[in-house]
Amino acid sequence: MMLVPVKKLSEKAMLPHRATEYSAGADLFACIPEPVDILPGQTVKIGTGLALEVPEGYAAFLYGRSGLGVKYGVCPANCVGVCDADYRGEVIIGLHNHSKEIFTVHPNDRIAQVVIAPVLDAVFEQTQELSDTVRGTGGFGSTGISDGEVRG
pLDDT tens column, 12-36: 999 999 999 999 999 999 999 999 9
Residue 1, domain member (yes or no): no
Q: Domain count of the chain? A: 1
Residue 3, domain member (yes or no): no
Q: pTM of this prediction? A: 0.86
How would DSSP label each residue in the chain? -----EEESSTT----B-SSTT-SSEEEE---SS-EEE-TT-EEEEEEEEEE-PPTTEEEEEE--HHIIIII-EEETTSSEEE-TT--SEEEEEEEE-SSS-EEE-TT-EEEEEEEEE---------S-----SSTT--TTTTSPPTTPPP-
Residue 35, domain member (yes or no): yes
Residue 136, domain member (yes or no): no
Q: Which of 51-55, 60-64, 141-145 has the lowest mean pLDDT?
A: 141-145
For residue 110, the domain's CATH number is 2.70.40.10
Residue 131, domain member (yes or no): no
Domain that holds residue 98: 25-118
Structure confidence by residue, pLDDT tens digits, 85-115: 999 999 999 999 999 999 999 999 999 999 9
Closest C-alpha to 19, from 7, 31, 5, 29: 29
Residue 33, domain member (yes or no): yes
pLDDT > 90 fraction of the chain, expressed in percent and rounded: 85
Residue 146, domain member (yes or no): no
Residue 85, domain member (yes or no): yes
